Amino acid sequence: MRTEGLYIDGSRTEAADGATASTHDPSTGEVIARFAQAGTADADRAVRAADRAFRTGDWSRASARERGQVLHRLSQLVRVHTEELAQLEARDAGKPIAAARGEMGSVATTFAYYAGAADKVGGQTLPGHADGTLLTFREPLGVCAAIVPWNFPLVITAWKVAPALAMGNTVVVKPAELTPLTALRLAELATEAGLPDGVLNVVPGPGSKVGDALVRHPLVRKVSFTGSTEVGTRVMQAAAEDITRVSLELGGKSANLVFADADLEACVDSSVFSVFDNAGQDCCARSRMLIERDVFDEFVERFVDRVERLRVGPTGDEATEIGPLISPGQRESVEAHLQGALEDGARCLTGGQRPDGPLADGNYLVPAVLVGAEPAARIVQEEVFGPVVALLPFDDEPEAVALANDSVYGLSGSIWTRDVGRALRVARHVETGMLSVNTSSSVHIEAPFGGMKQSGIGREQGLPALDHYSELKSVFIAND
């Protein structure tokens, strides 16, 4: 088995101390690849390469149109290599292959979007002075560190890398230890697309060493972190030492608000995926389902029936809808949440067990539906990050909004109602970064993505992401 090298300064390289690690297929437990495991010396090497690349100006001072052209070629290369990348991601992250293909399509779209944006944002000339000209430049920051979790490895990498590169920065990516493969391959494709050496570097390794070393590195100007709120807190504290800019995309406990006038059939069909997609390992998972009491029993019955028809299966099977959890440890953590919910008085109507038979070697867990939990119970308040949903009734609109807002998180959510006025009222009052009405689809490349409260700071996607990868500089030029 070949060992995947780190990607520093335009080529593959071993770790400075020769360390390697393996990555496993979550659906079978088999080792699928070995990779060089970066340490702090490699983090330093990657940051210095990125800093040198920034200072040559080959990328940072290239015309915005040229940068856009390279990103456009990278988008096309991702499309050409969709199947290869999807197979890699499906095995590395335990994703159903159909879902992995969809994700690679969205990676290509992300690069295409920022390729187009590169030459469409800039500074301004500002009125107010007769004795000169006042203008602003939008400048790149320098070296940006992108710290990525394992649940959507390449999608989240692209959300950070594409806007950072479009603005002329250089980047060091730290993928999650469990899922390093697609980011390493992306870096090779970027070189093939014409990105100068050192502009994009990838150093998989332990977060507490490599991630922390990147955050604390004096040459790193910006950290874009996606992961748990717990680690995000540490990242923000460490970044404060040097006033390094941070944006944080953190945990969630999003609500799905179902009113009695909703199209229940459409709602059930869509809502099962809003929580169980990616085996529930989704920061936007609507893991609190709030249902108007008049239709609660009917909704629960329909929902359980639909959940029991979800196809839990091998990741390589085109028909599979629900794959395994990322690791044995993640499955144990989800099982502990489930056990805690039962101890707190909830009832599990279906699921929650490990499947036997052909799936027994993987980290599978059958989707679980809980009722009877109190709003303050741990299962309603804590992020589970697995295939578990709690269904709770509400009596009226104010109570629905109050329950939705009774969370330290505020990332995503959905509203189901045929009453447009109510949809708008509730949308305005729910404390969350993203919402969808009568659909579960709330992630769009054109729209800012990010959270309120402990779900994070800053926005990815859309044009607002570019603000996080550039600084405004003002210049006044006297007439004489």
Our answer to whether residue 284 is catalytic in this structure is: no
Annotate each residue in 5-34 with x if it binds ligand NAD (CB under 6 A) or - if it does not, as one string. Answer: ------------------------------
Q: Among residues 70, 74, 146, 147, which is the contact residue for ligand NAD, using CB under 6 A?
A: 147
Q: Residue 51: what are its φ and ψ, rounded to 5°?
A: -70, -45
User: Distance between CA 375 and CA 349 in Å, rounded?
Assistant: 18
Nearer CB in complex with ligand NAD: 292/335 = 335
- List 37, 60, 82, 151, residue binding ligand NAD (CB under 6 A): 151
Q: How far apart are CA 423 and CA 398, in angstroms?
A: 13
Query: By CB under 6 A, what part of segment 333-392 binds ligand NAD?
Result: 383, 385
Rule CB under 6 A: is residue 176 a binding residue for ligand NAD?
A: yes
Q: How many Å apart are CA 59 and CA 320, to the nearest integer?
A: 42
Please report how close the Cβ of residue 348 comes to ligand NAD at its closest, in angstroms.
23
Q: Is 327 in the site for ligand NAD (CB under 6 A)?
A: no
User: Toward ligand NAD, which CB reaches closer, 250 or 300?
Assistant: 250
| Count of CB atoms situated within 10 Å of the CB of 245 | 17
Q: Of the two residues 375 and 448, which places its CB atom closer to ligand NAD in the complex?
A: 448
Query: Could you tell me which of 258, 230, 268 has the C-alpha nearest to residue 409?
Result: 230
Site for ligand NAD, residues 421 to 460, rule: CB under 6 A: 451, 455-456
* CA separation for the pair 333, 378 (Å, rounded): 13
Rg of the chain over all Cα atoms, to the nearest angstrom? 23
Active site includes 249?
A: yes
103, 249, 292, 335: the active-site residue: 249
DSSP H or E segment with residue 224: strand 220-226
Q: Is 235 in the site for ligand NAD (CB under 6 A)?
A: yes
Count of residues that bind ligand NAD according to CB under 6 A: 30
Sign of CA dihedral 295, 297, 303, 306: negative
The residue type of 327 is S
Of 418, 420, 413, 465, give the one whose Cα is nearest residue 441: 413
Does 212 bind ligand NAD (CB under 6 A)? Our answer is yes
Residues near ligand NAD (CB under 6 A): 147-151, 174, 176-177, 207-208, 211-212, 215, 226-228, 231, 234-235, 249-252, 283, 383, 385, 411, 451, 455-456
Q: List residues with catalytic annotation.
A: 249, 283
